[in-house]
Amino acid sequence: MGYLSNTELTVDAILTKKGREKLAAGQGLNITQFALADDEIDYTLYEPAHPKGSAYYDAAIKGMPVLEANPDETQVMKYKLVTLPKNTTRIPVVEFGVPNIAVNQRSGEVSLSPTTSPAGNRSLGYTIVLSNKNAGDIVGEGVTSDVGSVPMFIGDDVSATAVVSKGITFKFIPNPSLTSTIRTTITVYGNETGGSQTIPVTVTYVQ
């Protein structure tokens, strides 16, 4: 990982792995959306007791180096910035409404309806990531527009085996062909407001 000097304005833009794949296949990028993040900012450095006054409260933050662009979209932009309506006084909280999913491979589909409190994600909905696709499948419904890149930050070991789906409501379908019990996680992300929740998932093998 490299760092960029903060003494001058720098724009460091590179293509992600997905972008390179599209160019290699002769496809245009057709970029219509972008996202901003502040992964490298340590807000604990904000110092309202600075002896030089309010103009220096954020001096340490402004002096931090900026991370160099990384082509792996699963390893960057964990803390994406969002635009919320004016006069918002509470950060929207995204929840599944259930503490966990515990089924067997023959239980049939499980309906999931994420919510946002106090409000949000009604237009672009949610993105759900099932960490282990061997546990089953996720089907999303209710979103017809493209919501851009998946708002997730996961390791290489998970990204290679994950199932990703977008929608307003979802169905989790256990894998009926299991040969052993699988324990994994499922995470919901708000596509408009940000925020997420992760719950455990257990799909029990039945002989």
pLDDT digits (tens, 9 = 90+) for 120-168: 888 889 989 999 999 999 999 998 666 554 455 555 445 568 888 899 9
Q: What is the pLDDT of residue 157?
A: 47
More confident residue, 159 or 97: 97
d(CA 182, CA 178): 8
Tokens 């933050």 sit at which residue? 61
Pick the CATH number of 93-204 from 2.40.30.10, 3.40.830.10, 2.40.110.10, 2.60.40.1080: 2.60.40.1080
Identify any residues that bridge with 67 across adjacent strands, giving them in sequence order.
Answer: 3
> 207 and 173 in contact (C-beta within 8 Å)?
no
Q: Where are the CATH 2.60.40.1080 domain residues in the chain?
A: 93-204
Residue 61 pLDDT > 80: yes
pLDDT band at 72 (very low <50, low <70, confident <90, very high): low
The 10s digit of each residue's pLDDT in 101-124 is: 999 999 999 999 999 998 888 888
The pLDDT assigned to 35 comes to: 76
Chain-centre distance of CA 163, in angstroms? 13
d(CA 170, CA 194): 18
Helix (H) or strand (E) holding 190: strand 182-190
Asked whether the predicted pLDDT for residue 34 surpasses 80, the reply is no
Q: Is this structure's pTM higher than 0.85?
A: no
